[in-house]
Structure 1
Amino acid sequence: MTDEATAFAPGHVTAFFAPYPDDDPAVAGSRGAGVTLSDGVEVTVRPAAGADDPTVLLDGEAVEVAAVEGVLDALAPHVGGTGTGADGDADARVAAVEIRTDLPVGAGFGVSGGAALGTALAANDAFDLARSENELVRVAHAAEVAAGTGLGDVVAQFRGGLPIRLEPGAPGHGAFDGLPARPRVEYVTFGELSTAEVLGGDLDPVRAAGEAALTRLRRTPSLPELLAAAREFADDAGLLVPEVAEAIEAAEAEGSPASMAMLGRTAFALGTGLSDAGYDATACAVHPTGASLRPVETE
């Protein structure tokens, strides 16, 4: 067992999706497409110091992240629940998780999924669990689905790039493709949107709009078509909010394809359209490779 391990998971903006719930969270998921970002989530897992050591810290604050707790529980008794901590206390929590991100939480960037995936990868290394990549992605995907915070972020964040989810579910169930491109991405966020509320509502209109968008993209798999399909999906699914619609129109007027991040009050665009339109937008690149362990620092 190492002292600690750190993993990075890229942010993920879902452009459109067709949800497919299932009683088995590993089978549940979504078809759709999105963009993974060089801005993301870094997770460090280490043995807990004792019973008073917070299980999860997000940017230094003790929090409860259901998807992360689900990963720890799934990997128990090695890292979840209680056991013998670093100080020998038999009632201490086994693992402590530190999450760091510059991405807004609850705004459509896959922070929960990235935290779950990063926890699975880092815990496997820190505690010598000898799990394969697919096993760890399944654990993280199932934990996020069970938490109600996402259906397709984890698998997309593991793949990286511009992922297309052809079939829903974790590895062993889902199927994937992607667009071979690395455009500049800008985004601006106006606040949170509850993923759980949307996924707990009537999914039929969302599913129909998502399937239409996926059909369109598969017919012409290109960046312009991805954003055009996403824009149409946001309208047809009834998810577009006014301030995001205004930002999208402003970016498009500057020549940049744009749409809404699902699910969040966030507009994203390719190129410089949002900043050209006067928005205080954040710029980043597409992350090419997906989630991975950080290399061990050597002197």
Structure 2
Amino acid sequence: MDDVARAFVPGHVTGFFTVERDEDPTRTGSTGAGVTLTDGVTVEVRPAAETTIRLNGEDVEMGAVERVLDALSVRATVEGETPLPLGAGFGVSGAMALGTALAANELFETALSENELVTVAHGAEVQAGTGLGDVVAQARGGVPIRLEPGGPHHGKLDAVPARGRIEYVSFGGLDTGEVIEGDVEHLDRPGEEALSEVVRKPTVEQVLYASRRFAREVGLLTEDVRAAIRDVSDDGGEASMAMLGDTVFALGTGLSDAGYDPEVTGIHPGGATLR
């Protein structure tokens, strides 16, 4: 057995979503659409007597990662490195869970398939309350459309065939758990309408348009994000809010053209992979 295994998982911003719950966490999930990013999380897993988790050199608690290791019946040191901010709508916790599943499977030779590992990571994040759709989207890559909720054995995915530059500015974080664990019925109609719009016209521009309308209708826009979206729109660009974070993302040079100093990334062409 090697002493280390590595995986890379793209970041993921969700533009709109609905919450679908089931007693089985692998059936629980969300429908919606978003964009995976070339900025992502590199995860290293090493054998250890006791599990420890670090992100960018700092000790962190991540229930989803702990649940993945428990499901695989292993203990390990898990180290993640990412340029993405935690808790700002980039799917970092999902990336850590999925990267841990892939790397631990390689390191400890647990002999699970890709779908089985995605199912483990998805269920772990659902149970941890940190996300509902990031893991399956990050396993797919590109611009995934989540048509049916749940892990690979239950959910259904499509995607917009696209590539290109993405810019983002993060003003801070939001508590994902407070939203997805609370009353979510008000998300249903706007989320379903947004999904129908994207299915009818599967383009990245339509994803941003539907996402922007969803964010306005459900009342999740923060003042900073609202102002940034307005600035980009006034300059002829496409931008929306990353669910769930105090973050705005835009196509092309939308934020730069509007006078912001954004981080620059791109649409990641593929899903999570071993390194």
Give the secondary-structure state (helix, strand or coil) at the position aligned to 1:71: helix
Give the match for residue 113 of structure 1: 94
Amino acid across the alignment from 2:267:
V
d(CA) in 2 for partners of 1:221, 1:60: 39
Alignment of 1:58 onto 2:55: yes
1:62 positional shift: 1.3
Give the secondary-structure state (helix, strand or coil) at the position aligned to 2:264: strand
The answer to whether the Cα contact below 8 Å between 2:143 and 2:204 also exists between their aligned partners in 1 is: no
Give the match for residue 257 of structure 2: 276
Give the match for residue 193 of structure 1: 174
Amino acid across the alignment from 1:247:
A
Q: Pick one of 65, 72, 76 that aligns with 1:75.
A: 72
1:47-87: CA deviation from partner (whole Å, max 9, x where unpaired): 11x45xx61111111111111011011111xx1xxxxxxxx
| Aligned length, in residue pairs | 275
Alignment of 1:289 onto 2:252: no
- Bigger Cα Rg: 1
Q: Pick one of 227, 239, 250 that aligns with 2:208.
A: 227
1:172 positional shift: 0.7
1:207 positional shift: 1.9
The answer to whether the Cα contact below 8 Å between 1:16 and 1:213 also exists between their aligned partners in 2 is: yes
Indicate the RMSD between aligned Cα atoms, in angstroms. Answer: 0.9
1:232 positional shift: 0.6
Give the match for residue 6 of structure 2: 6
The 5 A counterparts of 1:135-150 are: 135-150=116-131
Alignment of 1:172 onto 2:153: yes
The answer to whether the Cα contact below 8 Å between 2:13 and 2:91 also exists between their aligned partners in 1 is: yes
The 5 A counterparts of 1:245-260 are: 245-260=226-241
Q: Pick one of 189, 198, 205 that aligns with 2:186.
A: 205
1:192-212: CA deviation from partner (whole Å, max 9, x where unpaired): 100000012211111221111
1:13 positional shift: 0.2
1:254 positional shift: 2.1
Alignment of 1:102 onto 2:83: yes
Give the secondary-structure state (helix, strand or coil) at the position aligned to 2:159: strand
Give the match for residue 244 of structure 1: 225
Alignment of 1:122 onto 2:103: yes
| TM-score, reference length from structure 2 | 0.98
d(CA) in 2 for partners of 1:251, 1:271: 11
The answer to whether the Cα contact below 8 Å between 1:250 and 1:273 also exists between their aligned partners in 2 is: no
Amino acid across the alignment from 2:18:
A
1:41 positional shift: 0.6
1:137 positional shift: 0.1
d(CA) in 2 for partners of 1:207, 1:293: 36
| TM-score, reference length from structure 1 | 0.90
Give the match for residue 37 of structure 1: 37
1:23 positional shift: 1.3
